[in-house]
Chains A and B, each alone.
Chain A
Amino acid sequence: MKRYLNLYLHFLRFSFSKAMEFRLDFTFRIVMDILYYAVNIMFFKVIFLHTPLVAGWTQEQMMIFVSCYLLVDAIGMTVFSSNMWWLPHHINKGELDYHLIRPVSPLFFLSLKEFSANSFMNLIIASGIMTYALSTYSQTFSIWEVVLLIALILNGTLIYYCCQMLMILPVFWTQSSKGFMDLFFSMGIAMERPDKIYKGWLRVVFTILLPFALIASFPARLFIEKFHWPTFLHLMSVTIGLWMVMLFVWKKGLRVYSSASS
């Protein structure tokens, strides 16, 4: 564990020094993410101009939900998105050997090597939006509820990561340039809407099969509508199941991987 932590600290140091080489790009990316946050907040502000409730939530409750998915997105962008971008490239070019022969988990190395220092500032901004949403929330809540919310957001990030990996890993078989990455980004919209809007088979799809609705909506719901054991157990069991499926596909993928050298 200590070895992995030390390794990760090296990744961080290297990523920050690399990001500071491209200062203008660093600034552009911060502005880009601020614009992304603004567009998402404005979308719901505009909807609330025409209705007092969306999926049973008021505007201040919706802000907590929005801040949840912005935070998941910011963590994802900072911690693993750059790595996800390069993963199909490594697989197609047969460049995984470099990672497979190292005495660390290749999944750990390939998923976390590139820490996106550019997005780190945005992680701070997204945290600020959440702090603002919680501080202006009119209902009372305890510090433990906030701790649980943060833990569930981290769990949501894990689901987000697994979903993204499952869209990329078909590259092992298809050898396409991005896998189904574009599809993944389109599916991201399912994460950005409250889960209560999904009914019938669509609910089964977005809460079990492709559980985008669990990423931010379930954590927000457990916070806003008070703790509900069945919802929590659903969230945990789907997370564990998804993680196992992702590991299974990863291992299967490695079996069909063709190296370019060695």
Chain B
Amino acid sequence: MKWWRHVVAMELRKILAYRSDFWITFLGQTLIQLLVARALWQMIFDAQGVTEMQGFTLEMMSLYYLIVPIGTRILTGESVGFLAREIYEGTFTRYLLYPLSVFQYKTTTYLTYSMFYAFQLLIIYTLFRIFIAQAAFTFTDFGNLLMGIGLFFLAATTYVMMALLIEMISLWADNVWSLIVMLRFFTSFFGGGLIPLTFLPSWTQAALEWTPFPYLISLPARTIMGLSTLGEMGKGVLILSVWIIVFVEFVKLVWKRGQHKYTSVGI
């Protein structure tokens, strides 16, 4: 099992290869999404003359939109889409020669990005608490933060399985990039990335309850904010775990059927 350390180290080197680009993009993305969301909701709160909407004050809304963009990056990683491209280009062969499963390798590379973004979330959230919210960082807050990050990791594992399942379709179709983008749209809207799920009509919330989507972004973000109960977290963990098992079985099945379709180019 020592191989994963080497894979993680290699991926970290890749992430940090263009440091200035990486940090400018990260800080820019986080700041812009937060500022635009804050501006929109401030106008809505002011126009309505209220201090709370669907259980969110303006400050809570700001915190939510601070966590969500980084949380979404933990969830979606960076390396999704590469497997499909490698299958299309015929360079997938190298993974068949590696002394480890391609799926283990891909999941490890993917979760390395998630790990790095989780570290960023830890820093940004701590800075926000201390300098912007000017609130004491209690033991409970720290516990919520760790539980939220843990949930984001479980969500990321579910997401990578969904993405792998889609990428396997490239054994039949030429290009599945658009399907992966569709998954992102679904996750963003039905996962609470665009708007907190409590704003959706109650019938939509009920329809989503047993799907993985509400537990991919909304639950971990709310957990970090201390808005989730232990029961909600337990239910989320259970539902995500079941979906992971389902997706893993599907990935195995599709791979079993599709691998004979693969045509390689060199090694």
Contact = CB atoms under 8 A, between A and B. Distances in A.
A254 interface: no
B47 A53 contact: yes
Interface in B22-65: 24-25, 28-29, 32-33, 35-36, 39-40, 42-44, 47-48, 53-54
Interface in B242-257: none
B222 to A, nearest CB: 18
B178 A29 contact: yes
Interface stretch (A99-107, A187-195, A230-238, A240-248): A187-195
A46 B40 contact: no
Given A186-B29, A190-B32, A42 B189 contact: yes
B36 A193 contact: yes
A257 to B, nearest CB: 18
B25 A49 contact: no
Main SS of the interface on chain A? helix
Contact of A198 (B24, B39, B173): B39
Q: Which bracket fits the contact residues of B?
A: 35 or more
Contacts of A229: none
A197 interface: yes
A28 B175 contact: yes
Interface stretch (A124-132, A141-149, A177-185): A177-185
Given A25-B173, A193-B36, A49 B199 contact: yes
Interface stretch (A4-12, A30-38, A156-164, A218-226): A30-38
Nearest to B172: A24
Q: Which bracket fits the contact residues of A?
A: 35 or more
Contacts of A36: 185
A55 interface: yes
Nearest to B45: A51
B34 to A, nearest CB: 11
Give the most central of B18, B69, B200: most A CB within 10 Å: B18
A32 B173 contact: no
A136 interface: no
Contacts of B201: 46, 49
Contact of B194 (A22, A28, A43, A49): A43
Contacts of B175: 22, 24-25, 28
B174 interface: yes
B158 interface: no
A253 to B, nearest CB: 16
A202 B174 CA distance: 43
A255 interface: no
Given A43-B194, A174-B18, A197-B43, A25 B29 contact: no
Contact of A180 (B25, B43, B174, B179): B25
A201 to B, nearest CB: 10
What are the 9 closest A-B residue pairs judged by CB atoms, nearest first? A32-B178, A28-B178, A186-B29, A25-B175, A176-B18, A197-B39, A176-B21, A183-B28, A29-B178
Interface of B: 18, 20-21, 24-25, 28-29, 32-33, 35-36, 39-40, 42-44, 47-48, 53-54, 69, 173-176, 178-179, 181-182, 185-186, 188-189, 194-195, 199-201
Given A28-B179, A29-B178, A53-B47, 18 more contacts: A25-B178, A28-B176, A32-B185, A35-B182, A35-B186, A46-B195, A47-B44, A47-B195, A51-B44, A51-B48, A174-B18, A180-B21, A180-B25, A182-B29, A189-B33, A190-B32, A193-B39, A193-B40
Interface of A: 22, 24-25, 28-29, 31-32, 35-36, 39, 42-43, 46-47, 49-51, 53-55, 174, 176-177, 179-180, 182-183, 186-187, 189-190, 193, 196-199, 202
